[in-house]
Amino acid sequence: MFVRRRWTALATTSILIAAALAHPGPGAAAPPSPAITLAPTETALVRVRLADRAQLDRLVAGGADLANRPRSRDGEWTADLVLTGRQLADLTRQGATAVQVVQRADDGARHLAESRRAAQERTRAGLRTSGAAAVDTLQFLQAYWWTTGGRTFLQAQVATTATDDPDVEITVSWRTADGATGSFPLYRFEDSGEYQYHYALPQPVPSRPVQLTATSTLGGTSRPVTPSLWPNATPPPQPAGYQKDFIDAYLTPVDIKARIARLGRQYRDLVDVIDLPNKTQGYRRTAAAYLGDPAAAAVVVESVRFGDQGMNGVQVRTVDPGRPNRPLNMRYRDRVLTISLATDGAGKVTSTTDDVAALINAPRGARFRATVEDGSAGLPMPVAGPVRLDDGLQGTEVPSRPWTVQALRIGKHRDGSRIGVLAYSQEHAREWATPLVTLEFAERLLANARTDAATRRLLEQVDVFVIPTVNPDGANYSFHDYNFQRKNLVNHCTGASRDPKNRTMWGVDVNRNYTVGSLFDGYVGASANCLSGNYAGTAELSEPESRNVIDLAKAHPNIKLAMNVHSYGGYFMWPPGAYKADGRVTLPRPSIDESTLFLGSARRIVGAIAAERGTVTWPSQTGPVADVLYSAAGNSADQLYYELGIFAWDFEVGNDRWNETTGQWDGVGFQPPFDEAHAEAQEYAGGLVELVRVARDYAADNPVRR
């Protein structure tokens, strides 16, 4: 994922750039930055104001996993980072300022704050005075308004023809229907080295705006425009007695599997439970231990088999044979691996850490492997142990076996004769609210098919597929071991990267493992580093989780529309989702007709989301992934669209919330307090129901051919 004006593919070590950022509204004074302290080993999602753009570039070079696009204001960059206390202290020493704790390892969302600095002025004024610079031309790309929570908001994007001048400043002036006036600045946005536009976050205004004008510091003035109502679409009203609110707690994959089984039993006439063909690794890891002292000299010893396959608790030790001129050797008996160190003629131990690791790695039954701990290479191997190997997993309720991912197929005619819709969620393990959305959606369809004629007709006309958790192994790890886990549990790392200190960074980003516009094709937004949050895997579709999504779609060619549910930040997106860095060359753009379908459907679905509690996905965050978020090489929506001809959208649930007290937009995080997650499930499930209506309407003009 990407940062600064030139967005590049990021790799993650232990830093995750993770949130949509907020800015004060007009006239709001930025509050002083709170004193942020973390214990050295404590992990939290922290909003950080970076020292400068160069510091942001260093984070990119070091590797990062971006959940949402970082935002700049007046040359100042702010990002949300998952940091340990030590990492936060390092960034602070480099000039960064911690602004807010958004979420601790056990916390919900936190509010945020960001300061702004004064506008810069350089030699433009002199150039304008001398007449050396031409007046630029300005064009509104977006001008929308909406009302939510009793507040009216306005958002605008403006492009200047002075694309090569990084210091052009643009101001938007507004007038409302009752004569009130005001203005706000826009900020330049570049992507992959290419100027895109000037923009600002949604601005509160006293009432409906009727006219906007933009002016620039080069003297350009736009023609006046009238902003449009957004999204200007509402779903049909729910009938009396419409059933909803089926979600009352966060759900682990174990909980989800039980709920799928219950729905299959309860609604046999409307549901098929599909076992997807590719079993995942399961909630399993190899067992490992440090033999020796990691601070002095040590070897990491690891089982080849998973810990639950009889390797947890196996003991490893080194011994001094107590005799001269003994060779280095080992034996494994009674679940104890004993390594007898070599000695010289005086009986002194001569084996090094490298010798011991090489001995363990020799092909002798392939029970164990070893790597030399960082900083221990070539050091004398101490007499150590016995130490017990352990897989480090804490989730005692989770079965220790390969996992069968399941899908629900919902409809009256589940034979391919009706248009199909696919909704899938939790490709990223830490996004706990997303399966709540898809399960609430599924239960609404099933329960209301008994009592509501409109829902019954929908299920006569549409064949619905739901995968509540694509990545159950990573999700189990997120719930029980490390809540910020993004990837699956398959560890493709080799050598020193397999050190247990890296256990929270192992795995493959499932949504970077698909075939179209992938890292392997030269596209931006994924990494070849196995410790990166955006690690693309060893090859396209190397992971069972990604193969399951594509295999389901291929097995049911009546699927023509799909929604991938992610969190957080409040985005609504569609292909293209990736570009190549040089020249920012995206995957091919949809045709005019298909673009119209993508945007028109988005308006309908955003309107349905807003009907629940007034949440509006911003127009600036509605559009192709590569334009409104970042380049995401190898994502699932691109493969569904370009290879299989499926209209594929992406939600990012968890929209920023307007804070009237601070005059800021607050982020909510991956695992907000359940009340917020529950609200997200209710509103976005309504959006998925509207997607089913979109499919019904599309099928009227494009009937399924069998």
| Catalytic center residues | 652
Distance CA 572, CA 653 (A): 9
Given phi > 0 = left and psi -120 to 50 = alpha, else beta, which region is 558? alpha
Note the maximum CA span of the chain: 99
Distance CA 247, CA 92 (A): 41
Bridge partners (DSSP) listed for residue 315:
336, 388
Distance CA 587, CA 551 (A): 23
- The packing angle between helices 253-266 and 434-448, to 10°, is 10
Distance CA 272, CA 414 (A): 8
What are φ and ψ of residue 47, in 5° steps? Answer: -85, 125
- The packing angle between helices 674-701 and 453-461, to 10°, is 60
Nearest-CA neighbor of 484 among 112, 110, 105, 108?
105
Question: Residue 638: which residues within 8 A CB-CB, separation 6 or more?
Answer: 514, 516, 517, 575, 576, 577, 578, 587, 648
Distance CA 504, CA 506 (A): 6
Among all chains, which residue has been given the structure tokens 């899938």? 424
Question: Residue 675: which residues within 8 A CB-CB, separation 6 or more?
Answer: none
Nearest-CA neighbor of 97 among 110, 111, 112?
112
